[in-house]
Amino acid sequence: MVDALRPALKEGVRSIVVTAPMKTTYAADFLDHVRKHHAYLIQSKSPNKATFAESVGSADQPHRVAEMVKTKEFRKLIAETTSGEADQIVDALEEHLYSSSSVVLFSLKEIEDVVYDREKPDGFRMEHLMLTDKFLADSKDKNRVNRLLQVSKNKRVKTIIVKAETSAGKRISQFGGIVFFAMSAK
């Protein structure tokens, strides 16, 4: 199962919901296996850290997955796991703020220049683009922001939209609601 997850993890997926039928221990057994044999996935300082959540249900067929995703409990679980992921990325942002080998931008124009390769910093690789849902909803330039999000995803920049009322959202709001950071490729 971990091998099946690796491509998604390489793409930047960091929130994983493990689902198993009621009265089974499959999900708990899998999460125990991850803790014992793949600790890098749950260590707090690991760049590969993923947030796992456990759910009860059947996900053996596409229509059952579709039904499960529509439930209020599942949406709440997703919100909790993505909040954990956002907190982890904000921790990485904090490290980049004080590092001389990082670039942190929080102006829409500067971020566009870098993402669209107008002003690519030499020797840097793109990392994360984070914005709050409030910034996206209230933006006067929604088309610009949506285009930036799409181009960022196409260029494999890890993009995340966080709820403004979460702790990660509050920190990003201090930068105006949008922040981009890259670190040295060296």
Map out the domains of the chain with their CATH numbers: 2-70 (no CATH), 98-184 (3.30.1330.30)
Kindly report the CA angle at 81 between 75 and 83, in degrees rounded to 5? 100
Cβ neighbours around 144 below 10 Å, total: 13
Question: What is the overall mean pLDDT for the chain?
Answer: 83
Alpha-carbon torsion (32, 9, 99, 87), positive or negative: negative
User: Distance between CA 58 and CA 7 in Å, rounded?
Assistant: 23
Per-residue pLDDT of 75-95, as tens digits, reads: 888 777 777 777 777 777 787
CA dihedral 151, 173, 135, 50 (to 10 degrees): 50
Of 21 and 79, the one with more pLDDT: 21
Q: What tokens appear for 138 in the block?
A: 């209230």
Q: How many alpha carbons lie under 13 Å from residue 130 in its C-beta half-sphere?
A: 30
Per-residue pLDDT of 37-79, as tens digits, reads: 988 888 766 666 788 888 888 888 888 888 888 888 888 887 7
Of 169 and 81, the one with more pLDDT: 169
Instruction: Output the pLDDT for position 100.
Output: 76
What are the start-end ranges of the E strands in 6-123?
15-20, 51-56, 102-105
Helices 108-115 and 142-154: crossing angle, nearest 10°? 30
Against a cut of 0.75, is the pTM above it? no
Contact (Cβ atoms closer than 8 angstroms) between residue 16 and residue 53: yes
